[in-house]
Amino acid sequence: MEKSQGEIYRLRAKLESTQTENENLQDEMEKMQQAVNRSYSDRDKIVSDLDKIREDLERSQASAGKYQLQQEKTQQALEKAQNDFDRLQEKFERAQNDTRRVSGDGRLVCM
């Protein structure tokens, strides 16, 4: 009987040890689950931030495209204005030359 009492105490101690180990493992598992949940939350936040950055990039690219088109239109308008100016300047110079050729009596001198 003493042997079986000793066996009972030994089994009871082993049971308590196993229960404590089980509780420790459960606590550790809860901590790991919390860490996993935080990582999911962090991942969702990062995905959201990436989406916002992607949208900003798309808006910036669209703005850059509009700016490029406007710059090209402005360049074309500048070139047209320069051509018009050059043409008018040539016309003005011809008119000045024609005015210089007029003789003192108002007749145009042919050359």
Q: pLDDT digit string (tens) for 5-38? A: 888 889 999 999 999 999 999 999 999 999 999 9
State the amino acid at position 29 in one-letter form. Answer: M
pTM score: 0.50
The 10s digit of each residue's pLDDT in 61-99 is 999 999 999 999 999 999 999 999 999 999 999 988 888
Instruction: Give the tokens for residue 58.
Output: 């798309």
Residue 64 CA to residue 58 CA, distance in Å, equals 10
pLDDT value of residue 1: 67
Residue 111 has pLDDT above 90, yes or no: no
> 1 to each of 11, 12, 15, 37, how far by Cα in Å?
15, 16, 21, 53
